[in-house]
Structure 1
């Protein structure tokens, strides 16, 4: 199956209710926060360097979403935070997450020096580490860090 990644300027222009529903069933509320924050203007991924991306399948259905913000946990504007990253269960293990993450990293590389993320999932831990993040739980709000300046992931380069 072929997937494409598109930048999302207006979250209301795409349908992600199925992602929100599935993520809530799995116990995650961060996609509900994505929708609410976008609607009330709290976070529209529109500060310098920020962006939101969605992956669509051949039928045009959104199967994954994720974005990058300036880290709310750092005073350094060159620290990015991977946010609201989710892949539908049916699309997992097909390279969708890696495709989306690569797009976010490529976008972020020119603006940010470092990207952080927090996860409590062992599957997400394995995913992030296989895609170039290092485990770093020295701060309570972060579990994984990637240095963006000069970083080239050989695996991702071949995708």
Structure 2
């Protein structure tokens, strides 16, 4: 199976129902929040330098989603927040999450000086560390940070 990353400009045209259902079953509500916040305009990933991406397979099925926002927890506009990152269980450990993460990082490093994220999942902790994030829970809203030497 081949996978492709696409930038999402309108979440309403994507079928992410399986991502919503599976994430809810796993106890995560952030994909559901992604949908509701996009619909009510709270977060459409449309502020300067923000972006939402999805991964689709060669059959057009959305298998992962995630985006980058200006961090709502930082006073500095050059601090980004990884948001709503989710990969379907059926494609985990196949490079899909890494592909999506690398696309987000490649986008972010041109606009931000660091990316923060919060997780309480041991699997996500291992994934973020493997992607170059450092564990840093010095702020209550953050568990991992990826710092860029300078904006490229």
Common fold by TM > 0.5: yes
- RMSD value, Cα: 1.0
Aligned residue in 1 for 2:3: 3
Contact residue 116 and residue 146 of structure 2 kept, 8 A = yes
Aligned residue in 1 for 2:99: 99
Alignment partner of 2:75: what SS? Answer: coil
Alignment partner of 1:68: what SS? Answer: strand
Aligned residue in 2 for 1:89: 89
Alignment partner of 2:44: what SS? Answer: coil
Contact residue 109 and residue 149 of structure 1 kept, 8 A = no
Aligned residue in 1 for 2:55: 55
TM-score between the two structures when normalised by the length of structure 2: 0.97
Alignment partner of 1:86: what SS? Answer: strand
Extract unaligned runs of 5+ from structure 2: none
Alignment partner of 2:28: what SS? Answer: coil
Distance, in Å, in 2 between the alignment partners of 1:120 and 1:2 is: 30
Q: Deviations over 1:23-78 (max 9, x none)?
A: 00000000110000000000000001100000001111000000000000001000
Distance, in Å, in 1 between the alignment partners of 2:62 and 2:50 is: 20
Cα distance, 1:148 vs structure 2: 2.2
Cα distance, 1:106 vs structure 2: 0.5
Aligned residue in 2 for 1:34: 34
When the two structures are aligned, how many residues end up with a matched partner?
151
CA pair 150-76 structure 1, distance change in 2 beyond 3 A: closer
Aligned residue in 2 for 1:66: 66
TM-score between the two structures when normalised by the length of structure 1: 0.93
